[in-house]
Amino acid sequence: MQEFEHIGELNPPARLLMAPGPCNADPRVLRAMSAQLLGQFDPAMTRLMAETQQLFRTLYRTRNEQTFLVDGTSRAGIEMLLCSSIEPGDKVLIPVAGRFGQLLCEIARRCGADVHQINRPWGEVFTLEEIEEGLKKVSPKLLLTVQGDTSTTALQPLEGVGELCRRYGAFFFTDATATFGGNELAVDEWGLDAVASGMQKCLAGTPGTSPVTMSPRFAEMVRGRFHVEEGVREASDVDGPGAIISSNYFDGCMLMDYWGPRRVNHHTEATTALYGAHEAARILCEEGIGNAVARHKKHGDALLAGIRAMGLKPFGDQAHRMNNVVGVEIPEGIDGEAVRRILLSDFGIEIGSSFGPLKGRIWRFGVMGYNARRDAVLMTLAALEGVLLRLGMKLPAGEALKAAWAFYDAH
């Protein structure tokens, strides 16, 4: 029998999380998550579920009835929407210019899709003309996009894409994990059919729930695969004409009925995570989604001003950069991983590296959620400058903070 005397009380180290996610959670969210549990069909619980749905409709700027949480990180929301909509052999079109476009290809293939890609170098975005050409050539059932790919910091423009999808008969999905709450996202106005996101970035929550929304036509398409498991199935339940959804946990039909008036007994709700999502959404609605987007842009731009003043080169097309993630090319002669290690060990600040062709080439700074604020930006710039000076890089000492302060004075 193993001895566990050496395992002490849980006491994580203090960190300022300035990587592309997670960020530090808002203390109000953490307090909400310390509340006692409720049974999943307690009227108080179902009221909280309904309130959470309405809060996320407001943030998503949608009237979609089918707006709810999937228990699991943002990838769970993505998998639920794709698993519930893709039948084996369905053609899907995926623009790929980073790691998370590749992830959509991976998930779609596992759902049995006939995957067609259009490709650009990592860090670039697609034009409407390129997307239209792909839709015309492939005639897909779904167009799967990533609004903001944190691996590259690029923000894919989505306005006008919904109109193209309607013209060519495709459903329009986007992964908004890294953008929702800190960048413009107008679900109804832009004609989005399905969106998945996560709590741990611009929403200042904790990983573990994925807010999703489905347009009425998307929900109707999913309903064509309706099936209720034995044990909770009623005599009036009739299977839909489509193929049964391969995952029970990510069955969109049963989840719609779990969150809807029927309250079908599908799974035990992640109560504590729901409390956190409810509070995070409430806080953001109180601030106003437009104000939150402006806040993320302000502090992301302030960090960028300091980075440039330090003599560092931002990565990628800055005209299409996410408000909340800044990519920086690692200077020649500097060990990028050593910088990250020292920032973490000596300052308690975490920043990110990247993947694939950008691995070892760039750092990624997240300025999002609770950390999209002035003191977090200034502390990060000061610490980065100190570490680079310690490692022997020649740079204009003090100019990064001066530039950030000047930016804040002007805004």
d(CA 398, CA 5): 48
Provide CATH code, domain 289-410.
Answer: 3.90.1150.10
238-286 per-position pLDDT tens digit: 889 999 999 999 999 999 999 999 898 889 999 999 999 999 999 999 9
Structure tokens at 176: 């908004």
Higher pLDDT: 40 or 383? It is 383
Average pLDDT over the chain, rounded to an integer: 96
379 within 8 A of 16, measured Cβ to Cβ: yes
Structure tokens at 178: 């890294």
For residue 353, CA distances in Å to 330, 332, 378 come to 10, 15, 20
pLDDT over 90 at 371, yes or no? yes
178-214 per-position pLDDT tens digit: 999 999 999 999 999 999 999 999 999 999 999 999 9
Q: How far is CA 29 from the centre of its chain?
A: 18
d(CA 407, CA 299): 9
| Averaged pLDDT for residues 101-122 | 97
- What pLDDT score was predicted for residue 146? 98
- What pLDDT score was predicted for residue 230? 87
147 within 8 A of 183, measured Cβ to Cβ: yes
% of the chain beyond a pLDDT of 70: 99
312: nearest Cα among 343, 333, 295: 333
pTM reported for the whole predicted model:
0.95
193: nearest Cα among 312, 60, 99, 283: 60
The architecture (CATH level 2) of 27-285 comes to 3-Layer(aba) Sandwich (3.40)
pLDDT confidence bin for 4, thresholds 50/70/90:
low
284 within 8 A of 292, measured Cβ to Cβ: yes
- What pLDDT score was predicted for residue 2? 65
Q: Is 59 helix (H, G, I), strand (E, B) or coil?
A: helix
Judging by beta carbons within 10 Å of its beta carbon (0-12, 13-18, 19+), is residue 167 exposed, middle or buried?
exposed
307: nearest Cα among 291, 295, 321: 321
| Averaged pLDDT for residues 362-382 | 98
Phi (first) and psi of residue 214, to 5 degrees:
-130, 135
* Domains of the chain, residue spans: 27-285, 289-410
308: nearest Cα among 395, 379, 237: 395
71-107 per-position pLDDT tens digit: 999 999 999 999 999 999 999 999 999 999 999 999 9
- What pLDDT score was predicted for residue 8? 86
First to last CA, the chain: 62
